[in-house]
Amino acid sequence: MFSTTPVVYAVGDEYQIIFYVRRQAYAKIRIGGREFDDCVCGVMRSAKGMRKISVPRTLLEGCGEYTLVIQNILTRAAYGTKIIKTTEKKFIFRPVIIGETVRAFMTGDSHGDIESAVKSAETFGKFDFLIVNGDIPNKCDKVCNFETAHNIAAKLTGGRIPVVFAKGNHENRGAAAELMFDYIPLKNGKTYYAFRLGSIWGLVLDCGEDKEDNHPEYGSSVRFHAFRQEQTEFIRKVIADAENEYNAPGVEHRIVVSHIPFIRDMNKLFTIEEETYSEWAKLLFEIKPEAIFSAHMHTYEIMRDGAKHARFPAPCPTVVGTERRDDYLGGAGITFEKDGITVQFTTSKGETVLSEKI
Ligand SMILES: [Fe+2]
């Protein structure tokens, strides 16, 4: 019945649980006696494919388990649809705990290579949450391309620990890109949001594509300039609500997750959005994150303020942590401790390339 394991994405004050049903079925999540149905304006979804159910963060963290209920149905009928079989499966959930050393792994730039993404994480060993940082499929010309991120996350987390998702630029490419919003985690319909995992507060930003909107490669299919400006307002709102966001009780670490390292200088064609990205960098001085975690460059780099490729002054280093070569993919192991963050770059070949405190 469960062709993929659920994946528990952290988004704002919710977890959004994404899973797959192989045939026509209703679905719900049960937590501590409460049920959360997969429905739209009161109508239960029943089509086979990917599903997404949101549940309150504190409820799932408090209960430490959830049950996925799948009710197979005979043909969906206008009158008299029948449930033919109900299957339930319980999952233990381990939230990130305040006050403990926390280990996370960031994967990205897999471009469809699920096996290498999983192996690079296994090199790091056990961790408490996963960051899936974009360009997970190479393109999205079919809805099933969005399954790639969930498949990697399901293999690495088993539905037992949280996952943070940031959209890359390759998720924007192809005929199914406009349908992504049913298949990835979102807050208020957007791919940018804040999240909270134990003592860690995070901000996910979405730069969209890596070139100007009018680049011929896109064929007028994108409008990311306005989307980035929208995020400037979002960051300002986060700062205005600091007491409930990054200054909330128990927050000990603040991070930013963005597929594209917007602080970094790029080659000419890719050096875009000067005004907006410099404003984001300025606003981050208010938030004072410890690091910006990025991918996109297919390399490893810890770019500190004033470094050769640093385009704007920034309050923290940018960690680009997804080296990709013909024979391996790397990711970043991140250890949060009271006195700071340590980053290790690990590869699908079982190597640890670097370990550095930032
Ligand atoms: Fe990218």
| CB-based contact 133:257 (threshold 8 Å) | yes
CA 129 / ligand 1 centre spacing (Å): 22
CA 269 / ligand 1 centre spacing (Å): 14
| CB-based contact 148:137 (threshold 8 Å) | yes
SS3 per residue for 294-349: ECCCCCEEEECCCCCCECCCCCCCEEEECCEECCEEEEEEEEEECCEEEEEEEECC
- pLDDT, residue 151, reads 94
- pLDDT, residue 1, reads 43
- pLDDT tens per residue, range 116-143: 999 999 999 999 999 999 999 999 999 8
CA 86 / ligand 1 centre spacing (Å): 41
pLDDT category at 163 given cuts 50, 70, 90 is: very high
Using alpha carbons, list the distances in angstroms from residue 128 to 16, 48, 61, 132, 232: 17, 31, 13, 13, 30
Q: Is the pLDDT of residue 4 over 90?
A: no
CA 297 / ligand 1 centre spacing (Å): 7
CA 157 / ligand 1 centre spacing (Å): 23
Is the pTM higher than 0.95? The answer reads yes
Q: Is the pLDDT of residue 2 over 80?
A: no
Average pLDDT, the chain: 95
What is the set of domains in the chain, with CATH numbers? Answer: 7-92 (2.60.40.10), 102-357 (3.60.21.10)
Structure-token match 């797959």, residue found: 20
CA 28 / ligand 1 centre spacing (Å): 34
SS3 per residue for 264-278: ECCCHHHCCCHHHHH
CA 171 / ligand 1 centre spacing (Å): 9
CA 263 / ligand 1 centre spacing (Å): 15
CA 156 / ligand 1 centre spacing (Å): 22
| CB-based contact 129:94 (threshold 8 Å) | no
